[in-house]
Every structure is written in structure tokens, then in C-alpha cells.
Structure 1
């Protein structure tokens, strides 16, 4: 089939599809490894948007030849998870968990394993126009399809040039740091740096004799190295500033990255950092944080990162220090994300092409082809539902007054997109119910249950990367009041309230009157009782006084009686004595007087009167 741009597309029976230029040159081969359902292409059609539709032996595929994404799927698992990659001498090298593989850059042939490199590859570095391979087994020099082992020191994480010394290279290994030394036209392992055995995946030079090493759990180490690079003379240790940490150098400034954000080294003597507000904002921009490490592309002045939904980069302008943040949608499976997390790899390939490694192969992103196009979101269907009933569709173009029991609403929406690598996220708002927009999510439907009566407006929008949809799809509806909240029932409730209030008032007033009368009666009873008590008290006091008077009189009478008796006894005694006396005349006179007093009743009368 000849396409609109005069190029050709050929379908094959067993090798997928070939895209040829107008001159017959092979531009691209697309087969099952690139994502076709199978390799048998029976029919081809180009639509209005230049999408290419392929009728396969069993299914249909759509291909956008102008897509910025090219996918390599390692369906057989021969290559493995891509941890690092580089273009060297027009060859593409992939460092994976199964070894080092290569093929010509523009080739579509299978990758070839570089001899003797089977196993985990950690890094690929072009230093001094030589390709170094950091491997689980040590360090290799790569020449086409051959690998020369130059270091047996296990686990080479990274290899860096030493400032002001072109004859040595510094390696970060599982058990510290080591030195490669140039001997003639080749490099050889020279020595391990003594007095430091911490795994050194992340390290940067402060100067030619001072190295900063970061370990996620052990901390941050400032190492002073002797001039021969044989041992650590002095070591400063600092606690980790956060988990999932790393360090990198950008514009000759050392940055420390963790889940908390990005710090910039401001004092090399005491290792003091301050927050880098720009890169920290980039880390958490749009609520879609960078997961894993930053990848620095000094040649293109970019810092890359991978988020849950996108790949992103920040770039500072050449004439201004104002950063530009760009997010590009790129879908990763959870399996790929979890397996490669912490070992993200984005490498420049050619021009504006970048290779992004994952556990299933890799994706090539062409920034020249990445041109965000405007897109719209469509509200597909709206359903109403009663409790324990089936859903019923509503016409999207109409406004509905729904019954109070039809208060469960379902909405479905979508964006027209044929690119499986693009992840579309949706956000909705139900005005009259929600206080703000929902979180971004991939679901293309949402449900609201048991909505109260009122007027509502449902809105939904979409995003691809950092680009929002041109429109917000919306739908307005109203849920009527239930019968028990109708205007008539509300008036009835008001009347009931008024009558109830009046009756309660009367009852309260009556109760208050009774209570008042009861209180007054109680007060009267208390007064009468108090008066009676007072009278009793007076009577008791009078009786007590009278009793006292009687007792006093009784005592007086008793004393008088006793005196009379004693007087009579005395007189009788005197009388007896006088009767026996000799002088009768005088005695008789005295006796008469005594008899007179003895027989006298005046004393008894006095007693009686008393």
C-alpha cells in the first residue's frame, strides 16, 4: 500500500510489516516484538488521521507511524530487563540482567550477546573513546562483540574520570572504591582504596582528592583520599537525609535526592545542604512524583525522571535560568515498574531520540515527533438507578428532574485514543455535592449513590501527561424532594410545630399555675406550722415558768414547816424544863407564853395561804 506521504507499507505472512521509503529503503520493520498481535499481516488501510490499520491472521492492530514511541518487546526473554544502554561506534548496546547485548543502531536484526558478559550489567561508560562495562563480575573493555576483563573486583556500579588526572579512573564497587590505571593503550585494575568498604553505587567528586559517597542506609560519607589514590586518610559520616536517596552532579553542583525532595550542597567542608526548590518542585510536580533516581543528560542539558504515569524532564534555558518542566505520557506496567524501580535508565540515542529501559525490553522516545495535539473528552452514557433496580439510560442532551428514589447516577466517559503507550487520566467534579475535583485516575466511569435532593452539575476532564483536555464534558440534572419534604408537607410540618408549640405553651402555663399554687399552699402550710410551733413554744415556756414558781413555793413551804416543827419541839422542850423549876410564878408566866405559841394556828394559816 502506498501511503499519503508516498512511502510504502508491505504486509508479510510471517515477519510482520515493513515500512519503505519512496526509494525502497527500509524505514522500519514492525512485528510481534514491536507489539503486533501476530506476524501475519493480511490487509492494510490508512485512515484520515494517517493511522495504519492492519488486518491480521487473528485480530486487528492500529499503528501510528508518526508516533514518537517505538517499542521493543523481549517476548522470548532472551535479552532481559534493560538496566543501562549506550550508542557506541554506531552500535546500540544494552546492559541487562542477562548480559551485554548489541546490534547496529539502525538494524532490526536480533541482539547479539557480547562474549564473556553473561550476567548482570550495571553500567556502560564511554571514557577516553573506549567503552567500559560495569558488571557483577567486575569491569570489561568492550570491542565490538568481544569483552576484555580488566578488573576482577566484583560489582562495578559506576566508573568516573578523576579530575586533573587522565591516567586513572575511579570505580564504585560492592565493597568500596577501586582504581583503574592506564597502561599503554589499555586500562587495568590497579588497587582498591583502603579504609573504606561501603558499597559505592552513588559517588561524586568534590575536588580531585575529596569524594562524596552516598549509601541509602549507611549514610553520606566525605572521603579524603591520599595523592596516590591508595587509601582514605580522613572520613566524615553523616546520617541519611531520607530513604531512596542518591546523589548526582548537575552544572558542577552536587545534588542529594530522596523522597523528601532535592537538596543542594552549599558547604563542602561541613557537608551542609539546602533545599533546591526548583528540583524539589519538579520531583512532586502535579501530584505525580518522580519514582526512583534522576538521570542526568549533560549533553542535552536535561534531568530526567520517571513517574507513575509519565516520563518527565526539566531543562534550563541557555539564556535564562528559568526551568522548563515537560511531562510525556508513557505507560508502564506495574510489573515493569516494580522490577526496574531504582535502576531507571534513559539514554540519548541519536538526535532527540531516547531509549527508556524496562523489564520487558525498551521504548524509544523521539522528542522531535512528540507534539502534543489537542484532544476532547466525551461523556458517553448516563444512567439512573433505583435501589435494588436495574440501571436506566438517560439522554445526555436532555435535562431531567429525577424522582427522589432515582438518586444513584452512573457516568461513563472517554478520550478517543489509539496509542496504547499513552495513559489517559480522568478527574471529575459533581457541583452541589463535591467540594473539589477528584484525584486523577484511569477509570473511565464513576458512580454517585444515594444523592440528596437538589440541583447538580457533573463535570469531567482528562489529561495526557501534563496536557489537559480542551473541554470539560458536563451534565446537569435535578433530584426532586421526597414526598415527605414537599412544600405541602413542609407547611403541614410548620402547622404541626405551631400547634404543638401552642399546646405545649398551654400545658406549661397550666403546669406553672399549679406549681405556683402548690408553692403558695406549701408556704401557707409552712407558715401555719411555724405559728403553731411558736404557740407551742410560748405555752411550753409559760408552763415551765409556772412549774418553776410552784417548785419555789413548795420549797419555801417545806422550809417554813420544818421551822415550825423545830420551833414547837424547842418550846416543848423548854416547857418540860420549866415544869421542874422552883419559882412557879415566873414559870407559869413563861409556860403561858409557850402554850400560847404552841397552840397558835397562825403558822398553819400562813402555810395554807402559801
Structure 2
């Protein structure tokens, strides 16, 4: 862009004056938000405005005092329901107000509710009727309430009356000095309870002074309602020769306010407000046409963020002066903006209604944009190419000269134009049917022809030395232009940039290179290798950025990008690096023109951004004071039958104790953030009930029901329209348990349980003692029974042992008897044999023996006879049998006394279970004799035939 001398001069002046202008911009309009009386539900007129340390705003309204915390409005009335004309907020939190026959202050009670305290009631009857207290001043250690009749001084909790010299009009506090206008004596300075006249000010006696401002060199600026503006210097008053004075004389002045001691806001009756510098040059003019709902401004106030509040004759207005953004909208006759350009000291704007222009060197305060004749319709782009202004229009390629249409180069619809590299006299235009070729002849662009070989409608495109790159239908078209420039040699399509990165999102030129982007991965194209390859520099820049689909580099190297309809920028530093700036552009979210980003960076102080409803002007050098950390407040804390409010005083976050019956709580939140209010979000957490913070929400109310007893802390934080989070605010509170879960109840429960346990323990101990006694007795009884049983069992065992031993002994005796009998029988047999031998020896004739044989024979005979005679086995047997069976024989004899010894022997032999043969041999009788003896014995014993004799004997 070629810079003419006037344009260079303008830039120099603008850059020189910008530091002086601070945040008040002379290009476009700041954001304006109107509050109607239906919003705050009060009267129409608002006479004064002030702000407390927490950021809450207060408005003196016809219907009372109104408080605004950024979220909700609260109304407070005087006892007599009077209009309130003035308010002043003291650092302590007291809000002094003045109304009809009433003045005093509002102060928060123990629960945060503003309670009115009347001071006028302490006046004597003579001064009690004073009409309206118009002005209030916090002057040193005094509070001054001024009416037309008197002024009342509140100091050290006492009221004193200050009389006028004649009659007061209004009063003004300028820095540390307090001035009164007396209708007959001009301006008076109040010092130490006395008035001192300002010489030369009686000229003001025939008008009303509505404002006084400090000027350089100890001058005073005096604003009158109908005579204009005056400078008071060296005891003289002179009219202020300035643009501001001309405006005031025409529209009547209702006072104003200073901004940062650099600018003056002047309120008017007929035409809104103006903001001028200390030289009287008008910087801004805001009226009903430019966004105010009413042209009569009764008061103006600058808040703690240097934003402007206006009390109107009907409603309230907020003017966002502390912003690097200003806007050209409907008040400038602009609609949707697609592109802008500066050409020959004129500013051109391409819109959906045509091309509009405005002088670049003329201030923008008053004039609207004018339509360029012949351009009505959809203008997609406007560009300065080789010092010619060309518009890409729905009706063709329009050449504009002298603020009007000069020529339509081609009647097809066009999107944009680009010069062909290495061919300075040729450019290509993208149109609804492909591309057209233009040639510069005799210093002017002319249409040559439609380039053959490609007929798709193309919006944006990029061009390098050999290729035209177009993104269309999810493909990249690589189009090679022929040498004659009249047709395309080849067309290639690319669907993906690599095997990893699928699809193609955008094509853009960055740092004089064409980049292809998908998923925030950036590629270049290698002409020699015919492949796409990653670029590390830009990739690293967008590494931590959410996915974007629109990227644009402006003419000073800033890289703009869009994320979900939100605009951001990598600002180019002097060192060549980048700073990512996001927050300032949140207020433009959803206002950008979709898929048609328009950024025109003339210089860092003048950046124009196209919007759906006009144009935004952005000064990137005004960011320092624009974005501040918001503050979050818990505005109120309500529970059954009571509400705790945290109002204009410093929040005293004591721990609140709440009865269990009030365990349903309601919290309201606020944040005195008045810029971009529709995007303010809250997040909260009830510690002790919730484990994590809630999602961000625009709701400023949260309710909880049926909370259990315990300790809780309600925490809240806010995120403003620029995405900046506040520190958290918190209110700790305790819900008392119900009476049956109260600490005292638990103490009672513990004591009761202890008593019950003690009683039960004693009962159990007593029962245990009784049980132990009875158990001891029972155990003793059981023990004795067991002992007796054991003794009996022992006795029985002994008897059994004795019996078994007897049986064993009897068995052994029987065995022995049997053996003895057997032996005895053998002896009997032996003796019988020996007797037989003796008898046979007797039959031998020994006479034939010789003497030796006879001798031997006689020895043998004698030996045998001796053996027979000396054998006492039989007698021993009988003796043994009698000894062994003595008891048996005794019992048998006692039962049957008639039994004979011979029968006793037989009974013994039968008891021993001896056979008949054995008995016969022992008794030396025959077997028949044994049977006969048995028979006789049975008969003597009285046994019948069926009874067994041996069994009977064994039973004895």
C-alpha cells in the first residue's frame, strides 16, 4: 500500500496522540448497554451514581436507591418514599443519600441488609423543611448535604447548619476543594466552615452551573446549563473556545465527570454526551442514534475500571470505554462486513449490501458511511492491487475510482484476486465458474478471458511460482497454469497430506510460504519430490492450540486463527517470536462472519475485524488495562426464615451456625463485572457435600435441600467474558444436628446407656453370683453324685474284677483240676499197667533163671511194687478237688444234707465236666455204675428228666 503525505502525517499525529487518549478512542463506538426501567423496576430518571469498594453500583433514582451487583438489582427506599437526588459511598460502607426533606445514610446491619439511618430527624423544627438535598460531598472529615436553602454539615455524629450568603444553587467538589454557587454572589469556596468568594464569578449569577473540572495550570473549567463552558483563571472567567463549547451551547450541559484526569465527559440535555480532551477537542460523541436509549443525560460516573455509566432521563446506560475495541454498526449504516481497505485516504468496507466508504482522515464521530454508487449488492472482497481498488462482487469484478464505480471488468460473480508471481502485469481472479485472467495495460487492469480447464466455484486460493492451490469438496486441487496463462496444463487432487494425517482442513500463506493444515499439523509441498512434508516451526507454534479451521497472517506478521467461532492471534514480537493472545476477543465470539474471516491490520493501533453486524476496530496497544481478574462474591445466603447478605462492606466471613430445621439453603452469587456480561459464568462447590466443582454456568443461584448436620463451606468462582477466572469466595457454615442428634443428646444417650449398662451389669453380676452359688451347689451335688457313682462304679468294677478274677481263677482251677485229673488218670493207668505187669511177672517161672537173672528179676519186681505202693496221686487228687471246690461242696451239702461223700465226689467230677469214662476210672467203677450214681444223685437233688444235672450243679 502506497502511503501519501497526508496519510503519513495522519499516522504520525495518531501515534503521537494515542498515549494521551489512553482508552478513549476516536474511531468507532464503544460497547453500549442500556438498562430500561423495566430491568431495574424503578423510576425513569437517575440523578447520580456511585460505587463501593466491592464494585457494586448505586443509583439515585426517582423511586429510591438502587443497587446493582452485576447480576441483580436491589431497591431501597427512604421512609417518606422520596426521590433521591444524590448519593455518596463512604469507604466504611455507609451510603449517604439526599431526598425531599430527608437525608441520612444506609448501612448494613449484622445480616448485611441495608438499613436507613436518618440524619435530618436531628434538625430543629426551623430547619426541618428544606425541600431537596441536591448534593452530597465527602469533604475531609465532614459530610456536606446541600439544598437550596441551607447546607448541613455532619461531623463527629453531630449536625450543624451552613447558611448561604443569599441562596445556594449547586455545589461541586473539585479534587480537595469544595465550591458552592450562590445565586447573587457567584462561586464560593468553602474552607473551615466559612465561605470565600471567587473574584470575577458573579457573571455566572444569571445562569446555573452544573459542573466544575480541574484543568492544567490550576485553571477551572465551569460548565453552565445554557451559557456554555468557561475557563476560570487569575480571577477572570473567559468562554472556552473549543469544539466542546460549541456542542454544549447547542445542546445544553448537565455537568459531567473527568476520566483519568485526561478527558472530560460532558452531559447534554438534547444530544447525549461528548468526551473531550483538555484542549476541548471532541474524541467521542454518543447519543440516541449511536446506541443510547435517551438523549438527556442527567449524570455520568466513571467506575473502578474506567468504564462510563450514564444516568439518563429515562434509564441507565453502560459505556465500555476501558476496551481496545470500538464498533461501527447500524448507527454507521453498516451491516455484515466481508472485507475492508484504505485507498487514497478513504476507508472502504465491503458488505452484503454493497461497498461503503468514509474519509480516513476525518473523525468518525458524526459521519456515517456512504454507499459507493453502483456497488449495491453482495460485495465479497475489496482489495488494493497496484494502486487500484478492485471489488470482488456478486455482479462482477468492479474497478472503483473517486468513490464510485468506474468499470465492471467482468460481469461474472467474483470472490478474490491475486497477482501471478513473476508476472507482475497479470493477476488471477477466482469467480463462480473457476478462474479469470486479468492484465494491466496502460496502468489499468483489464479482463482478458476465462482460464480454460477448471470450472468449479472457488472462494479463497493460494498461488506460488508453479501452482494454484484450491481447497474444494474435501480435496486439494493442484492446478498448473500453462505458459500462455490462458489454460491449465494439469489438475491433480490430493485427499490426504500423509498416511497419518487424514483429510485437509485449510490452505494458507504464512511467512511467505504456502502451508497445508489438518488437525493443527502443518505441511509444505516439495515440488521436486512431489510430496507433502511437515514444517517444524509452525507445527511447534500450534502444538498446544485447540484444533482450528481458519488461519490468516496479516501484513505485519500476526497470525490470526479461529477456534469454535472465537478469534485468537499469535502477535508477532520485535524479536520474531509470537505471543498468543486469546482473552480480548471473547466478546467477538459468534459475531465473526462464518468461513469468511476479515482482518485488516493497518498498524498495531488500527486493526479492523469484519462482523455479522458491522465492523470492530481493535487497538492492540491498549491491552494492558483492559483485562483484569474478576472478583466473585457470595451475594446472599438464605435459609428458612432468614437471609444473610454480603453487601457493600467488606465481607465478614464468620462461621454461621444454622438450626437443623433450616437445613435447606439458597445462595446467590455476583460479580461486579460489567463488560461482556452475557458471557459471565459461575462455578461452585459445597465443600463437605460435593467432591468437585460444578460445570461453568450462567446461573447465579444455587439451592441445596435436606443437608445433614456438619461443617460446610460454600465456595464460588467466576469466569468473565474474556475467560479469566477469579479467586474463590467462600462462606463457612455449620448445620446444627436435630435435638436427637445434638451433642447434648449424645451426652444424654451416653449417660443413659452407661446407667443402663451399669444397671444391667449389676443385675448380671447379682445373677451371676446367684448362678454361681446355685451352680456351686449343683456342681457339689453333681460332684457327690458323680463321686458316689464313681465309687459305685469302682465298687462294681472291683466286684467285676473280683468276679472276673474268680472266674479266671475258677477257670484256672478247672484247667488245673483237669490237668490234675488227667495226670491222675494217667497215674491210675500207669499203676494199672504196673499191676498188670506185676501179675504177669508172677506168672513167670523164675526157677529157670540163674541167680543173676533172678536177682534182676526180683529187683525189677520189687521196684514196680514199690512204685505202685508209693504213688499217692489219688489221694492228692481227692484232696485237691475238695480244696478247690470247697464252697461248692459246702453249698451243695447245705442245700442237700442227705447227700453222701461218694455223691459229693460225683457232683464234683460232673462240675468239672468230666466224661463218664473218666469218672468211672477215677471212681474205679464201671460206666454203668457211673450212670446209676448219676441217676441216684438226680433223684436226691430233686431234678426231673428235662433238667440238666451238670447245669444245675454249676448254678449252685
* TM-score after normalising by structure 2: 0.45
In structure 2, the partner of 1:305 is: 561
Choose which of 272, 297, 300 in structure 1 pairs with 2:532: 272
CA shift for structure 1 position 218: 4.6
Q: Which has the larger radius of gyration?
A: 2
In structure 1, the partner of 2:763 is: none
- What secondary structure, in the 3-state scheme, does the structure 2 residue paired with 1:368 have? helix
Contact kept, 8 Å, 1:209 with 1:226, in 2: the verdict is no
Choose which of 461, 468, 477 in structure 2 pairs with 1:211: 468
In structure 2, the partner of 1:248 is: 508
In structure 2, the partner of 1:232 is: 488
In structure 2, the partner of 1:123 is: 381
- What secondary structure, in the 3-state scheme, does the structure 2 residue paired with 1:331 have? helix
CA shift for structure 1 position 310: 5.4
Distance of aligned partners of 1:410 and 1:144 in 2 relative to their CA distance in 1, 3 Å threshold: farther
Contact kept, 8 Å, 2:630 with 2:673, in 1: the verdict is no
In structure 2, the partner of 1:83 is: 338
Instruction: Give distance in 2, aligned partners of 1:31 and 1:244.
Output: 48
Contact kept, 8 Å, 1:162 with 1:168, in 2: the verdict is yes
1:22-51 per-position Cα deviation (integer Å, ceiling 9, x unaligned): 333232222345432233334444567654
Distance of aligned partners of 1:11 and 1:141 in 2 relative to their CA distance in 1, 3 Å threshold: farther
* TM-score after normalising by structure 1: 0.68
Distance of aligned partners of 1:320 and 1:333 in 2 relative to their CA distance in 1, 3 Å threshold: closer
- What secondary structure, in the 3-state scheme, does the structure 2 residue paired with 1:237 have? strand
In structure 1, the partner of 2:369 is: 111
CA shift for structure 1 position 433: 4.6
Distance of aligned partners of 1:185 and 1:364 in 2 relative to their CA distance in 1, 3 Å threshold: same
Instruction: Give distance in 2, aligned partners of 1:490 and 1:186.
Output: 102
Distance of aligned partners of 1:172 and 1:426 in 2 relative to their CA distance in 1, 3 Å threshold: farther
In structure 1, the partner of 2:635 is: 381
CA shift for structure 1 position 13: 4.6
Say whether residues 1:357 and 2:610 are aligned partners.
Answer: yes
Say whether residues 1:191 and 2:449 are aligned partners.
Answer: yes
Computed over aligned residues only, the root mean square deviation of the Cα atoms, in angstroms, reads 3.8
Contact kept, 8 Å, 1:427 with 1:441, in 2: the verdict is yes
Distance of aligned partners of 1:211 and 1:478 in 2 relative to their CA distance in 1, 3 Å threshold: farther
1:44-59 aligned at under 5 Å gives the runs: 44-46=300-302, 50-59=306-315
Instruction: Give distance in 2, aligned partners of 1:192 and 1:87.
Output: 29
CA shift for structure 1 position 192: 1.7
Instruction: Give distance in 2, aligned partners of 1:143 and 1:478.
Output: 76
CA shift for structure 1 position 247: 1.8
Instruction: Give distance in 2, aligned partners of 1:271 and 1:405.
Output: 75
Distance of aligned partners of 1:225 and 1:52 in 2 relative to their CA distance in 1, 3 Å threshold: same
1:505-524 aligned at under 5 Å gives the runs: none
Contact kept, 8 Å, 1:174 with 1:198, in 2: the verdict is yes
Contact kept, 8 Å, 1:309 with 1:329, in 2: the verdict is no
In structure 2, the partner of 1:134 is: 392
Contact kept, 8 Å, 2:606 with 2:617, in 1: the verdict is yes
Choose which of 607, 623, 640 in structure 2 pairs with 1:370: 623
- What secondary structure, in the 3-state scheme, does the structure 2 residue paired with 1:468 have? coil
Instruction: Give distance in 2, aligned partners of 1:186 and 1:464.
Output: 51
Instruction: Give distance in 1, aligned partners of 2:289 and 2:661.
Output: 53
Instruction: Give distance in 1, aligned partners of 2:521 and 2:660.
Output: 53
Instruction: Give distance in 2, aligned partners of 1:198 and 1:271.
Output: 25
Instruction: Give distance in 1, aligned partners of 2:724 and 2:305.
Output: 21
CA shift for structure 1 position 122: 0.9
Contact kept, 8 Å, 2:675 with 2:721, in 1: the verdict is no
Choose which of 333, 343, 356 in structure 2 pairs with 1:101: 356
CA shift for structure 1 position 391: 8.3
CA shift for structure 1 position 355: 2.0
Contact kept, 8 Å, 1:173 with 1:199, in 2: the verdict is yes
Instruction: Give distance in 2, aligned partners of 1:415 and 1:330.
Output: 18
Query: Which structure 1 segments of 5+ residues have no match?
Result: 496-610
Instruction: Give distance in 1, aligned partners of 2:704 and 2:525.
Output: 52
Instruction: Give distance in 2, aligned partners of 1:428 and 1:165.
Output: 62
In structure 1, the partner of 2:401 is: 143
Distance of aligned partners of 1:192 and 1:456 in 2 relative to their CA distance in 1, 3 Å threshold: farther
CA shift for structure 1 position 111: 0.8
Instruction: Give distance in 1, aligned partners of 2:299 and 2:308.
Output: 10
Contact kept, 8 Å, 2:474 with 2:503, in 1: the verdict is no
Contact kept, 8 Å, 1:150 with 1:189, in 2: the verdict is no
Contact kept, 8 Å, 2:567 with 2:589, in 1: the verdict is no
CA shift for structure 1 position 15: 3.7
Contact kept, 8 Å, 1:212 with 1:223, in 2: the verdict is yes
In structure 2, the partner of 1:582 is: none
Say whether residues 1:176 and 2:434 are aligned partners.
Answer: yes
Choose which of 588, 596, 599 in structure 2 pairs with 1:343: 596
Choose which of 23, 32, 39 in structure 1 pairs with 2:295: 39
Instruction: Give distance in 1, aligned partners of 2:566 and 2:749.
Output: 54
1:8-19 aligned at under 5 Å gives the runs: 8-19=264-275
Contact kept, 8 Å, 2:480 with 2:491, in 1: the verdict is yes
Choose which of 420, 424, 433 in structure 2 pairs with 1:162: 420
Distance of aligned partners of 1:391 and 1:294 in 2 relative to their CA distance in 1, 3 Å threshold: farther
Contact kept, 8 Å, 1:133 with 1:139, in 2: the verdict is yes
Contact kept, 8 Å, 2:668 with 2:700, in 1: the verdict is yes
Distance of aligned partners of 1:59 and 1:394 in 2 relative to their CA distance in 1, 3 Å threshold: closer
Instruction: Give distance in 2, aligned partners of 1:421 and 1:475.
Output: 24
1:495-534 aligned at under 5 Å gives the runs: none
Distance of aligned partners of 1:310 and 1:233 in 2 relative to their CA distance in 1, 3 Å threshold: closer
CA shift for structure 1 position 298: 3.0
Instruction: Give distance in 1, aligned partners of 2:310 and 2:740.
Output: 61
Instruction: Give distance in 2, aligned partners of 1:273 and 1:225.
Output: 23
1:43-66 per-position Cα deviation (integer Å, ceiling 9, x unaligned): 444567654443333222233544
